[in-house]
Structure formats: C-alpha cells, structure tokens
C-alpha cells in the first residue's frame, strides 16, 4: 500500500447506510487502507462547516493522508469531482468550495478532475457519487494509482471568500467562525493580530465586545476564572476563542456563527 | 487471519460502554480483525430498521465479511443466535428477523445455531449476549474456525414479511420504507416497476401522490429543481425516493415510515 | 509495535475537529497503532461518567491496551497528566479522578507524571493538551517507550469517593449509578449483596423500592415480563439494574443519577 491513511468527512450522519457503504467500498478495493473518521456530522450541505473542520484537523495527519470529503449538495449535476495533490496530502471532494481553506494554505502540486470510470464502481447511481465514484477513487489512489490516471487537469476550483478580520483604529473587527461542542465561540481572529494591535497602540489590555456585551478576562488558561465566568483565550487553532469556564459561552451569550466580534485595546 | 473484516451493527448508541465492550472482546480474541462500524444508532429494538440498513450496505463490503448484528430485544430468552454462511458473506445475529432482507437476497450455504460455549466468554451475563456470545463467536469465526463448530444446524429462521409494492390499473402502490438523515423518503418501489408500468400503459409521464399531495418532478438529478422544491428520483439503492432539493422532504410532507405512496402514470 | 491498541474516551462529541486531531497525531507517530473508540460522548467535563464508562468496559480489552481518557475541565492549569501502568493495562488521563474506579480495581505497578516535552508536539496550545501532550504520549508509549521516560513518579492521584451500598436491617440501600441508552437504571448494588442479605435474613423474595414505587419482578431474563413491564435483574456488569421490557425505565420512573434505591427482602 502506498498511502495507507484515508480520512473521511461527510454530512451523512451516523444513522444510515451511507458511511458504511463508503467504508465497504474502500476496504473492498484496498484491504490495507486505514480509514479514520474526521466527522460525519457536518450539518447537511454545509460547505463552510466542512471547510473549517477539515482545515482545523488536517495538519495533524500523517504525510500523504488522503482526505475524502463528501458534502455534496450538487450530487448528480455537472459539478466536478476534484483531486488535489499538495506537497503533503491528497484531497478528493466535489468542487463546491469545501477545499477552500486547506488549498489556500497548502502548496498545490496538481489539480485533477476525477473522471476515469475505470476507477469507479461498475454501476453508478445518480444520488450517491461518494460511494460510486469518490470512495473508489480514494481507495485506488491509496493503492498507488497515479493522480494523472484519474482524469484531466482541472484549471480552477471553487473557492468561497472568507471575510478576513481587520484592524480599524484601535479595534480588531472579526466574527464568530465556529461554535464547538463545549459552546466555545471560535473567532476568525488570529493571535498575531493582537500583537499587531499591541505594537500599533503600544497598549496591552484587551477587551472583547460582542452584541453589546464586554468580556474583560483575557486569560492564559481557564483556571484563573471562576466556574461559569466568561473569558477569552488563544484557542487550540491559534485563534481567539470566547469561552465560559466549564460552561457554554454560546448559551450565555446567544451568539451565532458570523456574528461580529470586536477586540478593543 | 482468514476473514479479517467484521462489520458491526447495533442499537446500542454511542454513549455507553456497550460498543466498546464488543470491540474489546473481538480484538482480544483476534488482534488482526478489522472492525468496521455500520451503525450503532438503530432505534432501540427496531428489527426492521436493522434489517433495512444491513440490506442497504452489505453488498459493498468485501467477500467473506462477517456481519455481526446485535439488535436483541429477546436477549436472555430462548431465541436462537444464528450464524448464516452465504455464498459471499457470514451473518451472526439473534434469530428475530434482523436478517430477513439479506437472507432473501443471498444464497444460503448453511445456517447454524451459535451454541458452543467453547467460543463464548467464560462468564456469561443474562443481559448482554452480544458481548458474551456473539462478539466472541464472530472473532473466532474470523480466525478461521469452521461454521460447523459453533453449533447444530438451524432448520429455520425468523422472517418478517415485507409488504411488496404492486401495480393496480395505472398505478403503483407502495409505501415509505425508510427516512434518511437528509429527510429523503425511500420507498419500496424499485425502478423497474416504473418500466413495467410504462410498458403496460404505453405512457411515460409519472407523478407521485401521497397524503393528498402530488409531486410531478421526476428527475435525473437534483440540479434540475430549484432549492427547496419537491422531486422524486431513482435513489442510490435503485428505489424511488422522494426528496426536496437541499432541504428535508419529511419536514415538508409530514410523512412517516409505512405511509402509502402511489405512482400514477 | 509493542502495545498496538489505544482505546480513546473523551467528552469531545463527534461534531468537531477534536477527535480527528487526536487520531491524526497518534497515527502520525505510530502508523501501526490500532485506535478503538470507547466513546466520545461523555457529558462535557463529567469525570464521574468517564470513570464509570471506563470501568465498565476496560476489562474486555486486550492485555496491555493503552487507555487514553481526555475529559479535562482543568486543561492548561497545574493539574498533572497521569500515566498509570497496572499489571494489565496502561492509562493516560488528566489527574482529576477519571481513573478512580479502574485504579481501585487494578494492581498499580507505577504511576508517572507525563511531563517530558520530548514526547509532546513541538507547538503547544493552552486549551488542547489532549492533542498536544496526551495523544503523542500514548502513541510513543505504544511504540515501546518506557514509562519512566515520560516523567517523574507521581506519589498520589486524585480519587473521588463513591458512596458504597450498605445493608441496614433487612434492606440494601444503594443508588442509581448510571442510566444507559435503553433507559435502564444501573445501580451500585452488586449481585453478591443480595446473597449476603439472603443469608442474613434467611429470606429469598426481594423487592425494590425507589421514589415511593415498588418493583417486585426480580427476573432471570426479560422474557418473563410483559412488554413495558418494570423489572429488576442482574445486569451485564454484575450490578442490579432496573429495566422496563422493550421500554425505558427512566421514562416510566422519572429517576435520575444518584437517586436512592432500596432492595427489601
């Protein structure tokens, strides 16, 4: 086996036969493939969530992991299936923007359209190309079939534009990017923007303002805050996160994805 | 290892210690077994759902996969534990009908009752035969123990009778078999029945009628319908499915499993 | 690979990037590690639930399994990360009581504090030591790195005290320890306490009393009770469980964890 790890991410949930079919197909083609689930709980058709979850985890996987992303509202239409080879990884996904964040960060070596029916299941359905085309392609790729075999070069791919955080006066203006299981609000503001603001203003005391509320505890770790207290912190992705100690910030603040967050010095 | 893949399906959910115990038992007996989860989210005691999910996915698994199905309302009673060897696969399950659909489709080579305590855990509980009997049996089978070793021949097995769709005049009368995570309604009507109706009536325009509503868009793929629009399509199992584009048909239609679906030419 | 099985338990849920990151880290360090999920659905920060689920399943795993438990309300604070080697297994977890029940039962051979940054990821976050410290330590351990390499001996570890059931007059007084997916109430009363009570009173007919209700059917298996009927039984952990046949006892009884259960002879 050339590239043994196949990491799966879908919006299929875990109740149905979808994920099992993908895995069966992969193991049938490559009995030595090692399948790791990223998650199957992407909200149905939510390309942006898929893009973010992939982005948040992919770097921790081994060199040459094959990421198979099946969040596919356009299944059966003329949207392409992409195969991207980057310096470190492979990605297979419908061309709908799900790879936006990772491909912005990775060095793309080649971009292919997955089209060669030699690497598909013999019978194709109209509604489940994840099973019929993408999973078999990933399995064949893991066995060492060269990328060029899967189809012609793709000259472009769909990207969605993420609103970047910006500095305006003595503020950083960003937004909530993702709300995790603990109710933490992950913003799109990286730690280094605080550095920039610090240098620009020569001040060092940050507070967060969102939806008319202010949060003043910018902490190094949760232990300096009392249970239930709101705080902000540099999270595990290097982004500013708003949290409540051993509690849910989203419940306390009634915030949703995309809401504006201001960091004021 | 003779048959390395063991595919698991249960109604245990993922919150408790049940699934972990099954997997521990299997790996302890056969460190090389490859465990693939079909799903653990079969509704509690729902034999029909188990039967359908197994039926929908098993064909995609490698030759000689061992399917272990633990949905077992009769645990501890005198119901048998079945081991079925078919031309292509093995199935282990309580004898309660969970294998109805797959055994109807597969060629049965032998049917055994799993009884030999040599292949059970040394201590048996009264409430968890999945862990104490079925998982060890599956693990020993995967190591190559012959089916005859597990117990006497079983002369029959429990089946539930599925109501088949039928053609009456210029209609196909079927019902909703399963509602998936996306809210698609999977009916029990196979594509080829439409062919039959087409031939019989020499007409070619189908509409679906259910609960007083009519759906007219019979499409090749979702892209020809506008977002939220209702449609029907040949789904990934070769069955007619009612869907709403990037939306939930079940929410729009307030349908439940078993509701009647009519296809009118 | 020296100790191939790593069993994971967290309160991360399955929606986010947390579990995937752990698995990526492990497989990157040890491509032959075999990861088995116990559960990722421990309620957020619930040390007691973690302790119970681990206790309920660990014995079924192979000799020398490495258990990695990441339920970590104190992440980033000065709480230790423990590595316990027992006669049969390894356990890695924050020192917060999550190992209370297993370490009470196992023979501890050594207890270490995981501190050696040689076995951590090169970049450390403040909020995700599961990914940055514990997962890499587990992966290196599975490759055969000796326990002593990970850090100094730990002279103590946090335990929470479980209230034990007791016999008083002709009663056993215990409580509900855990409510499982089926709505069964698992008590902390072991089967052998009934033996004691039987000997003490020379009587043999037990009933359960909880929240003013009495349950009289103490059964050998579910089949002797009619559907929906309440019963009690020796469950799969050797503990008395209160169940409703093919139904949910917790819904019928409106009981919660910790509620008192009396067994009267």
What's the confidence (pLDDT) of residue C120? 98
Which residue in A20, A35, A126 is closest to B38 by CB distance? Answer: A20
Mean pLDDT of A46-56: 96
Which residue in C28, C44, C127 is closest to A235 by CB distance? Answer: C127
Mean pLDDT of B152-164: 92
Interface touch B75/C222, C-beta < 8 Å: yes
Residue A204: pLDDT band (50, 70, 90) is: confident
Residue C200: pLDDT band (50, 70, 90) is: confident
What's the confidence (pLDDT) of residue C235? 95
Mean pLDDT of A188-203: 91
Query: What's the maximum distance between 2 C-alpha atoms anywhere in chain B?
Result: 65
Give the number of residues written for chain B: 265
Q: Report yes or no: B6 and B142 within 8 Å, Cβ to Cβ.
A: yes
Could you give the CA distance from residue B99 to residue B71 in angstroms, rounded to a whole number?
11
C184, C40, B84, B191: which is closest to A37 by C-alpha?
A: C40
A80-84, B221-225, C113-117: segment of lowest average pLDDT: B221-225
C212, C99, C233, C204: which is closest to C158 by C-alpha?
A: C99
Is the pLDDT at B223 greater than 90, yes or no?
no
Cβ pairs bridging B and C (under 8 Å): 100
Interface touch B53/A16, C-beta < 8 Å: yes
> CA A57, A59, A62, A68: dihedral to nearest 10 degrees?
50
Q: Pick the residue from chain C with its C-alpha nearest to A38.
A: C20
Could you give the CA distance from residue B253 to residue B184 in angstroms, rounded to a whole number?
10
Interface touch C17/A57, C-beta < 8 Å: yes
Interface touch B241/A127, C-beta < 8 Å: yes
Distance between A117 CA and the closest CA of chain C, angstroms: 31
Say which residue the tokens 């985890």 belong to. A57
Distance between A62 CA and the closest CA of chain C, angstroms: 5
Residue B202: pLDDT band (50, 70, 90) is: confident
Interface touch B39/A19, C-beta < 8 Å: yes
pLDDT tens track for B100-145: 999 999 999 999 999 999 999 999 998 999 999 999 999 999 999 9
Could you give the CA distance from residue C90 to residue A213 in angstroms, rounded to a whole number?
46
Interface touch C221/B128, C-beta < 8 Å: no
Encoded tokens for A6: 């196949």
Q: Report yes or no: B101 and B143 within 8 Å, Cβ to Cβ.
A: no
What's the confidence (pLDDT) of residue A201? 86
CA angle C90, C95, C101 (to 5 degrees): 60
H or E segment at A102? helix A100-105
Q: Report yes or no: B207 and B264 within 8 Å, Cβ to Cβ.
A: yes
Mean pLDDT of C117-124: 97
pTM: 0.96
Mean pLDDT of A232-258: 94
Interface touch C126/A40, C-beta < 8 Å: no
User: Which residues, listed in sequence order, are joined to residue A173 by a DSSP beta bridge?
Assistant: A166, A262
Mean pLDDT of C196-217: 90
Q: Does B95 touch chain A (CB under 8 A)?
A: no
CA angle A26, A53, A98 (to 5 degrees): 70
pLDDT tens track for C41-98: 999 999 999 999 999 999 999 999 999 999 998 888 889 999 999 999 999 999 999 9
Which chains share 3+ C-beta pairs under 8 angstroms with B?
A, C
Q: Does C74 touch chain A (CB under 8 A)?
A: yes
Distance between C42 CA and the closest CA of chain B, angstroms: 7
Q: Report yes or no: B81 and B94 within 8 Å, Cβ to Cβ.
A: yes
Interface touch B125/C36, C-beta < 8 Å: no
A109-113, B132-136, B158-162, C243-247: segment of lowest average pLDDT: B158-162
Distance between C112 CA and the closest CA of chain A, angstroms: 23
What is the residue-averaged pLDDT of chain B? Answer: 95
Task: Spell out which residues of chain C touch residue A246, defining contact as CB-CB under 8 Å.
Answer: 44-45, 73
Q: Does B16 touch chain C (CB under 8 A)?
A: yes
Q: Does A246 touch chain B (CB under 8 A)?
A: no
Determine the residue among B1, B24, B40 to mutate to test chain C binding: the one whose Cβ has the most chain C Cβ atoms within 10 Å: B24
Residue ranges of E strands in chain B: 5-10, 34-39, 66-70, 81-86, 90-94, 108-113, 166-168, 171-179, 185-190, 207-210, 213-215, 230-234, 239-244, 260-264
Count of C-beta atoms within a 10 Å radius of residue C216: 11
B132, B3, B150: which is closest to B83 by C-alpha?
A: B150
Interface touch A16/B222, C-beta < 8 Å: no
Mean pLDDT of C192-203: 89
Q: Does A73 touch chain B (CB under 8 A)?
A: yes
Could you give the CA distance from residue C181 to residue C185 in angstroms, rounded to a whole number?
10
A90-99, A231-240, C220-229, C249-258: segment of lowest average pLDDT: C220-229
Interface touch B62/A28, C-beta < 8 Å: yes
Task: Spell out which residues of chain C touch residue A180, defining contact as CB-CB under 8 Å.
Answer: 15-16, 18
Residue A212: pLDDT band (50, 70, 90) is: confident
Which residue in A7, A41, A246 is closest to C73 by CB distance? Answer: A246
Q: Pick the residue from chain C with its C-alpha nearest to B43.
A: C182
Interface touch A61/C126, C-beta < 8 Å: no
Count of C-beta atoms within a 10 Å radius of residue A150: 21
Q: Pick the residue from chain B with its C-alpha nearest to A21.
A: B57
A4 vs A223, more confident: A4
What's the confidence (pLDDT) of residue A263? 95
pLDDT tens track for C138-187: 999 999 999 999 999 999 999 998 889 999 999 999 999 999 999 999 99
Task: Spell out which residues of chain B touch residue C37, defining contact as CB-CB under 8 Å.
Answer: 19-20
Mean pLDDT of C4-10: 97
Residue C265: pLDDT band (50, 70, 90) is: confident
């Amino acid at each position: 086996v050339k590239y043994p790890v196949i990491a799966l991410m879908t919006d299929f949930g875990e109740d149905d036969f979808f994920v099992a079919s993908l895995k069966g197909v992969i193991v049938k083609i490559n009995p030595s493939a090692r399948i790791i689930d990223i998650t199957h709980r992407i909200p149905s058709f939510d390309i942006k969530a898929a893009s973010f979850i992939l982005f948040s985890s992919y770097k921790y996987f081994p060199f040459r992991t094959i990421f198979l992303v099946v969040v596919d509202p356009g299944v059966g239409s003329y949207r392409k299936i992409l195969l991207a080879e980057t310096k470190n990884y492979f990605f297979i996904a419908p061309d709908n923007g799900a790879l936006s964040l990772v491909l912005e960060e990775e060095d793309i070596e080649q971009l292919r359209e997955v089209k060669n029916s030699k690497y598909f299941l013999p019978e194709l359905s109209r509604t489940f190309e994840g099973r019929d085309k993408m999973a078999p392609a990933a399995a064949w790729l893991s066995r060492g079939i060269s990328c060029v075999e899967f189809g012609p070069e793709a000259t472009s791919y769909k990207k969605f534009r993420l609103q970047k955080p910006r500095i305006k006066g003595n503020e950083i203006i960003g937004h909530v990017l993702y709300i995790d299981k603990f109710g933490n609000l992950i913003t799109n503001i990286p730690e280094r923007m605080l550095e920039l603001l610090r240098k620009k203003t020569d001040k060092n005391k940050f507070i967060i303002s969102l939806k008319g509320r202010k949060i003043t505890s910018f902490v190094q770790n949760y232990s300096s805050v009392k249970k239930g207290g709101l705080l902000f912190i540099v999270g595990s992705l290097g982004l500013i996160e708003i949290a409540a100690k051993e509690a849910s910030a989203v419940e306390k603040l009634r915030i949703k994805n995309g809401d504006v967050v201001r960091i004021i010095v």
